[in-house]
Amino acid sequence: METPVSAEFASDTTYLNTSTCGLLPRRAVAAVRALAEANGTGRGGDGPGSFEAVDAARASFARLAGVPAERVAVGGAVSVHTGLIAASLRPGAEVLLPKGEFSSLPTPFAVRGDLRPRYVPLERLAEEVRPETALVAFSAVQSANGRLADLAAVRSAAAAHGARTLLDTSQSAGWLPLEAGEYDYTVTAGYKFLCCPRGTSFLTVSEEAQESLVPINASWGAGEDRWGSIYGPVGELAHSARRFDESVSFLSYYGAERSLALLEEVGIGRIHTHATALAARFRKGLASLGHEPVAAGDSAVVCVPGLEHRHPCLRRARVAVAARAGTLRAAFHLYNTAADVDRALDVLAEAG
């Protein structure tokens, strides 16, 4: 893609590993470095950072997700957001999940001990929703194989049975358009396709669903008046989803503010077109080499069974991919080019 992207990234490898960790743009690196230097010298004033950057990142993510900023809570990890939701369910509640989900989603429900997690194949998720299902929790794009969920079908089935929905967009937000308001909850790790530093995550919660959540992670930062809430129990929690904020790393959010601004400048629709076209080019090239990727539809994530053993040779050739669940996984994003695709295919062809 053209500038501002080309001037923002400094990778010296063929980087096809965004599903593991996205590259930080130069502007994010500069913001983190500046705050770290200020923290190290005391030039930053009387604190480790400003909530202005946190709230700017919140607002930017909200625009990308299609919801008001008042519906977004921030934190450091998807599993903590999921744990908050798990804690809100009544004992014995059924939680429906796809088999093989990334562990941050199912584990908080499994460890409670008094819930009933039920696991079904992804392609049967919608048809397996039943009247006793309290929550359907699933990823828009599967980490293990790049497969896309049938979002509309699951939403429809959940609505028909009165079940709430929790969508994990960690492998999709940043390249796949998102309307978070169509779900009761969404959770997103910021350090993948959102190109934020690790330690940034986002929870969206509908106004109705907010009423059932207890802000068990609340600190003074979740108060309606932050600076008036620093001693004793918080007297008045934020009226918005900010009441579910965790205490955050300012270093991470200083970077996140800049990264999310870049994604807004480029546009998710444009990134989607670019990334999925590169993925299609890669699938076509793999087929010409006799390899059959997982049928993942129009996904920016491509997984190839039986090629996991090629991971070391790709790494030696400075082609960054991942080995996951018996597959070789490549992920394409705004900073990738057709030359990256062809380089990976050339290395695979040479390896035989």
Q: Domain ranges in the chain?
A: 5-24+267-351, 33-265
Element of type H or E holding 164: strand 164-168
Domains 5-24+267-351 and 33-265 share a fold: no
In the chain, % of residues over pLDDT 90: 91
Query: Does CATH number 3.30.450.20 belong to domain 33-265?
Result: no
- Give pLDDT tens digits for 156-180: 999 999 999 999 999 999 999 999 9
**pLDDT value at residue 3:** 46
How far is it, in rounded angstroms, from Cα 178 to Cα 203? 13
**Helix H or strand E segment including 292:** none
pLDDT higher than threshold 90 for residue 339: yes
Task: Report phi then psi at 124, rounded to 5.
Answer: -105, 10
Q: Is the pLDDT of residue 4 over 70?
A: no
Question: How far is Cα 182 from Cα 154, in angstroms, rounded to an integer?
Answer: 11
Give the DSSP letter of residue 148. Answer: B
Quickly state the pLDDT bin for 47 (edges 50, 70, 90).
confident
Distance CA 304, CA 302 (A): 7
Interval 110-145: pLDDT, tens = 999 999 999 999 999 999 999 999 999 999 999 999
Q: How far apart are CA 136 and CA 129, in angstroms?
A: 8
Tokens of 287: 């087929």
- The pLDDT value given to residue 44: 67
Q: Report the alpha-carbon distance of residue 294 to residue 292 in Å, rounded.
A: 7
Residue with the larger pLDDT of the pair 211 and 167 = 167
pLDDT of amino acid 2? 54
- Closest-CA residue to 35 (of 18, 58, 52, 55): 52
Cα–Cα distance, 19 to 320 (Å, whole number)? 11
> Tens digit of pLDDT for each residue in 218-276?
999 999 999 899 999 999 999 999 999 999 999 999 999 999 999 999 999 999 999 99
The answer to whether the CB of 152 falls within 8 A of the CB of 182 is no
Query: Which of 170, 157, 47 is CA-nearest to residue 104?
Result: 170
Q: What is the pTM of this model?
A: 0.95
The CATH number given to 5-24+267-351 is 3.90.1150.10
CA distances from 258 to 16, 78, 222, 245 (A): 22, 21, 23, 20
Cα–Cα distances in Å, from 31 out to 76, 259, 279, 297? 18, 10, 31, 37
pLDDT at 257: 98
- Grade residue 295 by pLDDT with cuts at 50, 70 and 90: confident
Task: Return the closest-CA partner of residue 15 out of 27, 5, 24, 23.
Answer: 23
Please give the pLDDT value at position 242: 96
Band (147; pLDDT cuts 50, 70, 90): very high
